[in-house]
Structure 1
Amino acid sequence: MKWNVQRGLLLSCCLLLAACSSQPDAGSAGNWRGYTQTGLASYYADRYHNKRTASGEPYKKSANTAAHMALPFGAMVRVTNLANGKSVVVKVNDRGNFPRGRIIDLSRAAFSSIGNTRSGLLKVKVEVL
């Protein structure tokens, strides 16, 4: 009996801690303001158009959105192509599991506005606004 009570308390504590460790929401995007990062940007394949993103929004290839590993959903980010100086502001609405060196995955529209999609990857600077 004592073992079951201890196990129950341990399970309750674990569940409580898991509930407290959720991703920050867009309201905490201000905590990231001024954060910058440099690396590679890629873009979503067309096959993801209208599929749900991690935030629950559908991916729209014509919208200026992006996936990032850590930035909160709703964060507004300026992405600048380091080769030509062009930049675009995107809203983070998805997560990504990126290969080494990639830091952000842009919608097709966002990527096209700062570089040629035929290149596939761009060296960029990401700045949280």
Structure 2
Amino acid sequence: MKLIKTMSRIIFLLAVMSTLACSSVNKINSNEEKLTMVSYYGDKFNGRKTSSGEVFDNDKLTAAHANLPFGTKVLLTNTDTGDTVTVKVNDRGYLHKGRAFDITKSAFKKLGDIRKGVLKVSYKIVE
């Protein structure tokens, strides 16, 4: 009887894990454009390790996102100007409500005026 209960639990867990894995793959491979706000990292983060283990460099084109896999490349487009930049996700972190990404200063400058601090962008996963 214990063996049957244990096997049932294992099968249930495998089914749940398979479902979750498939749903995250669909989200990652989605070419659908989404809207969000982005902000940039402060200089105090230069030289610190990111969640992926890379050393943070505000001169590179990288970003933090809550759950996209490290290494994912994302195309960001300023909705006001049409300016674009492609960033690589290499960090996690606390993100303000309504902001899907924190990006490096270098990436932010390619999208708009650094003095704004926050920009509205569309984004889609490119790789």
Interval of TM-score (by shorter of Structure 1 and Structure 2): 0.7 to 0.9
Q: Any idea what the Cα deviations from partners look like across 1:79-115, whole Å, max 9, x if unmatched?
A: 0110100000010000122111111111010000111
Instruction: Provide the aligned length of Structure 1 versus Structure 2.
Output: 108
Partner of 2:39: 42
Which ranges of structure 1 fall in alignment gaps of 5 or more residues? 1-8
Counterpart CA distance in 1 for 2:70 and 2:107 is: 17
**What letter matches 1:39 in structure 2?**
T
Show the counterpart of 2:76. Answer: 79
Read off the aligned partner of 2:74 and give its amino acid letter. Answer: V
Determine the C-alpha separation between the residues in 2 that align with 1:93 and 1:46: 17
Match of 1:5 in 2: none
TM-score w.r.t. length of structure 1 = 0.75
Structure 1 ranges of 4+ moved more than 2 A: 28-33
Indicate how the Cα distance of structure 1 residues 118 and 31 shifts in structure 2: closer, same or farther if over 3 A, else same: closer
Distance 1:42 1:103 in 2: 9
Aligned with residue 109 of structure 1, among 99, 106, 110: 106
Q: d(CA) in 2 for partners of 1:29 and 1:75?
A: 14
Aligned to 1:121: 118
Q: Distance in 1 between matches of 2:54 and 2:26?
A: 18
Percent identity over the alignment is: 37
Aligned 8 A contact 2:28 2:68 in 1:
no
Paired position in structure 2 for 1:53 = 50
Ranges in structure 2 where 5+ consecutive residues have no aligned partner: 1-5
SS of residue matched to 1:103:
strand
User: Aligned to 2:50, what secondary structure does the other structure show?
Assistant: coil
- Indicate the SS of the match to 1:42: strand
TM-score by length of 2: 0.76
